[in-house]
Chain A
Amino acid sequence: EAGVTQFPSHSVIEKGQTVTLRCDPISGHDNLYWYRRVMGKEIKFLLHFVKESKQDESGMPNNRFLAERTGGTYSTLKVQPAELEDSGVYFCASSPTSGSSGEQFFGPGTRLTVL
């Protein structure tokens, strides 16, 4: 079974530019989560999709961040315009809906550097 995949693995952009991160969850997982780890800090929750609907977006930092999950499959996280403080590692995770133990399966992360 393929795991959660994320693309790209690394992205280096300049302040003011736009970046789009992609996450492909494990097939059949209705729940999809985005997290971010700023260097030296905790991994922080950003938002949670159930299928194509946003269940909880309380962790989104501001309106420069836009997450979508059209069709309830893969998800994108766009940062526009990027700021220096957006640098960090963005993790995606997924979990099934029924019979879940609460475990979330994580992708390898996308390391974003904003210069």
Chain B
Amino acid sequence: AQSVSQHNHHVILSEAASLELGCNYSYGGTVNLFWYVQYPGQHLQLLLKYFSGDPLVKGIKGFEAEFIKSKFSFNLRKPSVQWSDTAEYFCAVITSGGYQKVTFGIGTKLQVIP
């Protein structure tokens, strides 16, 4: 069964600092990779996704993630965070096929200090 590991459970950054959240998955087959975000009081929403092609994917609000197949990793990055990025971030994977269950990481709470 697939699993997802997020290395940082709670991250505190000052505004304008750079962000990198680690994510590793374990699954031998083809996977689709996602980062979801939950802002305070809001729904989980998709930040970005990787299915195939360019391993560097760009999402909303200046976020990007790089899929490194050899490392089973899909780290999330943002060069300069803002206070409004304060949220919980979830790395997630589904097996190829597109309609299977999502396996989530435990989530990383990001707090950005003005």
Query: What residues of chain A have their CB less than 8 Å away from a CB belonging to chain B?
Result: 3-4, 31, 33, 35, 41-45, 48, 50, 55-56, 58-59, 91, 93, 95, 97, 100-104, 106-109
Q: Which residues of B contact A56 (CB under 8 A)?
A: 100-101
Partner of B98, one of A3, A35, A48, A101: A101
19 further A-B contacts with Cβ under 8 Å, apart from A42-B107, A102-B32, are A3-B43, A33-B102, A35-B104, A42-B106, A43-B102, A44-B104, A45-B102, A48-B100, A50-B99, A56-B100, A56-B101, A58-B101, A93-B102, A101-B51, A106-B36, A106-B45, A108-B42, A108-B43, A109-B43
Q: Which residues of B contact A95 (CB under 8 A)?
A: 99
Residue interface mask B71-111, A partner, CB < 8 A = 1: 00000000000000000001000100011111111110000
Q: Is B94 a contact partner of A102 (Cβ separation < 8 A)?
A: yes
B12 within 8 A of A: no
Q: Which residues of A contact B94 (CB under 8 A)?
A: 102
Q: With A and B bound together, what is the CA distance between A56 and B43 in angstroms?
A: 24
Q: Is B90 a contact partner of A100 (Cβ separation < 8 A)?
A: no
| 9 residue pairs, one from A and one from B, having the closest CB atoms | A45-B101, A106-B44, A102-B98, A43-B104, A102-B32, A42-B106, A42-B104, A108-B43, A106-B43
Q: With A and B bound together, what is the CA distance between A91 and B104 in angstroms?
A: 13
Determine how close the nearest CB of chain B comes to the CB of A29; give it in whole angstroms: 11
Number of interface residues of B (CB under 8 A): 23
Q: Is B102 a contact partner of A104 (Cβ separation < 8 A)?
A: yes
Q: A41-B106, A42-B106, A91-B44 are in contact. Are A103 and B49 (CB under 8 A)?
A: yes
**Chain B minimum-CB-distance residue to A99:** B98
Q: Which residues of B contact A44 (CB under 8 A)?
A: 104
Q: With A and B bound together, what is the CA distance between A112 and B36 in angstroms?
A: 22
Q: Which residues of B contact A58 (CB under 8 A)?
A: 101
Q: Is B99 a contact partner of A100 (Cβ separation < 8 A)?
A: yes
Q: With A and B bound together, what is the CA distance between A33 and B103 in angstroms?
A: 12
B68 within 8 A of A: no
Q: Which residues of B contact A33 (CB under 8 A)?
A: 101-102
Q: With A and B bound together, what is the CA distance between A55 and B99 in angstroms?
A: 10
